[in-house]
């Protein structure tokens, strides 16, 4: 399974990521997920989220997830970009793409990876107050 992982303060460039997609002829499914910062946190309006990561550990833990993913599903490739630092409302904070043979395994693997990322990757977010 090919794997890419980027934790960056730079904005997520979806167009560039999609242009870099590579898949072999045996693959029939691409699932990708974009997580976007909402304008509310609970009942409060926010203008941004400030993300902080323990980057070395986050990279290690996500690579462990990739190892587990490769055992569970026949996935050809996975790419994940997580933004850190200040991410404004409406901007993406997370981009994940899974390429597999069929939609079932690609959807399942992508969903699992997001859920596990939220459980084990040492990344935190702090809301930045917006206009009330």
Partner 1 sequence: MRVTVCFYSYFRDLTGCTATSEELPEGSTLDSLFQRLVARFPRLAEMQKATLMAVGVEYQNRSYVLREGDEVSLFPPVQGG
CB of 2 to partner 1, least distance (A): 22
Of residues 65, 94, 98, 110, which one binds partner 1 by CB under 8 A? 94
Q: Does 93 bind partner 1 (CB under 8 A)?
A: yes
Measure the CA–CA gap between 98 and 110, rounded to whole angstroms.
6
Contact string (CB under 8 A) for partner 1, positions 44-83, x = contact: -------xxxx-xxx-xx--------------------x-
Tokens of 17: 């990521």
CB of 117 to partner 1, least distance (A): 5
* Dihedral pair phi/psi, residue 2, rounded to 5°: -75, 145
Of residues 42, 119, 131, 132, which one binds partner 1 by CB under 8 A? 119
What stretches of the chain adopt beta strand conformation (E)? Answer: 2-8, 29-36, 40-41, 44-53, 75-83, 85-88, 92-100, 123-129
CB of 24 to partner 1, least distance (A): 29
Closest CA to 6 of 107, 102, 79, 91: 79
Q: Does 127 bind partner 1 (CB under 8 A)?
A: no
Closest CA to 15 of 92, 87, 84, 76: 92
CB of 101 to partner 1, least distance (A): 26
Binding site for partner 1 (CB under 8 A): 35, 51-54, 56-58, 60-61, 82, 93-94, 114, 117-126
């Amino acid at each position: 399974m090919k794997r890419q992982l980027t934790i960056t303060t730079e904005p997520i460039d979806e167009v560039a990521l999609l242009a870099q997609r590579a898949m072999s002829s045996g693959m029939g499914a691409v699932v990708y997920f974009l997580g976007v910062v909402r304008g509310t946190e609970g009942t409060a309006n926010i203008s941004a989220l400030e993300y902080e990561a323990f980057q070395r550990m986050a990279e290690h833990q996500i690579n462990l997830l990739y190892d587990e993913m490769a055992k569970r599903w026949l996935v050809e490739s996975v790419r994940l970009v997580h933004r850190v630092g200040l991410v404004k409302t409406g901007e993406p904070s997370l981009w994940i793409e899974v390429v597999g043979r069929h939609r079932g395994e690609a959807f399942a693997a992508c969903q699992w990876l997001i859920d596990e990322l939220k459980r084990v990757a040492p990344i935190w977010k702090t809301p930045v107050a917006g206009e009330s």
